[in-house]
Amino acid sequence: MIASAVITFVTFNFLGMRASYGRYAKFSTFSEFAIPARIGWFLQEVPSFILPTVAAFWQIKMHSLSLVNALILLMFAGHYFQRSAALCAWNPRIQFHERRNTTEMSPSNAGKEMSLLSNSKLESSDGIVLDALPYIDDQHYTDEHRQLALQLIQSECKKFPMTKNYLRNLLEPDYDKFLTPRLIELQTKLSNKQVGPEAFLRSNQHLKRQAEKEEVELFKLRSQLYELNARRKRSQLQAGEKLVALGLTWVELVTKNAGMVVANDTLEAEIRVIAKQLKVDPGINHE
């Protein structure tokens, strides 16, 4: 019976500790939910109270352990829950977590993060925006527009800094101090070594094959580049045709709409003249 009590106590102690201290994990259970930090962290303390309490009542119901053992488990649960509740209320780490959720992760600040690109948008003095289709628009871009594009690129690159160079604070290595007289002598022999004619020819053939291979790779890359540019040009030309067709349709609809307005005004004037001659109400209501 004592062994059973010890095993039960240690088991639920371990489970309660794991459930409680799960808040210190990198990926918390409630990290993806928009709830206050203290509430979320307090909810993670609940298992540390529920598990030993359920164990105590289960032991009482099954009569497999003494009532003293059950009361000990219940006292442990209450003490542990009170300590955890106090920790959730005044722990500086939790206060920092809550302050971060209420300030940095708020919807207003999230909207600011999403609108960084729109806030950094630049336009030229003549109102030309640099997000046009170069194969369609008739704009004549100058050096000022090029500088404007470079400013956009630089402002975008500032948001994504380069990877930190961890070796910038270290001194340049002095490789000469590792050279011993014997190594210098071996290096001199290698530099003065003469290669035979056959080895020299094989080396030239190997270099030639390597150069041909690199030329083939270069040709493939250039072909892909030309294909990409051609595909982009075709897509922009197709989009330009659609834009021109939509523009003509819009002009046609606007013209028809204006003609209908003029025709309605003319008919209303004629109706008023006829109604005035007949001395009747024209019945025209613009509401």
Per residue in 67-93, pLDDT tens?
Answer: 555 555 555 555 555 555 555 555 555
Q: In a structure prediction context, what are the per-residue pLDDT tens digits for the chain, which is 287 residues long?
A: 445 544 655 554 544 444 444 444 443 444 444 445 555 555 555 655 565 666 666 666 655 555 555 555 555 555 555 555 555 555 555 555 555 545 544 444 444 443 433 343 445 555 656 666 667 766 667 777 778 888 888 888 777 666 667 677 788 888 777 778 888 888 888 888 766 678 778 888 999 999 999 999 999 999 999 999 999 889 988 988 898 899 999 999 999 999 999 999 999 989 988 988 888 887 776 65
Instruction: Report the half-sphere exposure of 175 (CA within 13 A, side-chain side).
Output: 2
pLDDT, residue 161, reads: 63
Domain ranges, ordered by start, for the chain:
32-94
pLDDT at residue number 72 = 57
Distance CA 142, CA 144 (A): 5
Q: What pTM value is reported for the model?
A: 0.32
Angle CA 78–84–88, to nearest 5: 145
DSSP 147-179: HHHHHHHHHHHTTSPPPP-TTTTSPPP-GGGG-
